[in-house]
Amino acid sequence: MARRRELKGIANAINESFVSRNNDFKGYWSIGQIKSLTLNNGLTSMTFPLMLSKANPTSGLQNYTACHYANMLKSLLKKQKLPNFWVNNAVIEIDFNPNVELAQLYEYTTSGELFQCSCQITSDAGRDYTSIIYGRCWPHAIAQEFKSTRNSS
Please check whether residue 149 lies inside any domain of the structure: no
| Strand ranges inside the chain, DSSP E | 24-25, 28-29, 45-49, 87-95, 113-123, 128-137
Q: What is the pLDDT of residues 92-140, one digit of tens each?
A: 999 999 887 665 655 655 678 889 999 999 999 999 999 999 988 878 6
Total structural domains within the chain? 1
> Which pTM value belongs to this model?
0.84
Please check whether residue 146 lies inside any domain of the structure: no
Please check whether residue 150 lies inside any domain of the structure: no
Q: What is the pLDDT of residues 69-99, one digit of tens each?
A: 999 999 999 999 999 999 999 999 999 998 8
Please check whether residue 50 lies inside any domain of the structure: yes
The torsion region of residue 112 among left (phi > 0), alpha (psi -120 to 50) and beta comes to left
**Structural domain boundaries, residue 116:** 6-141
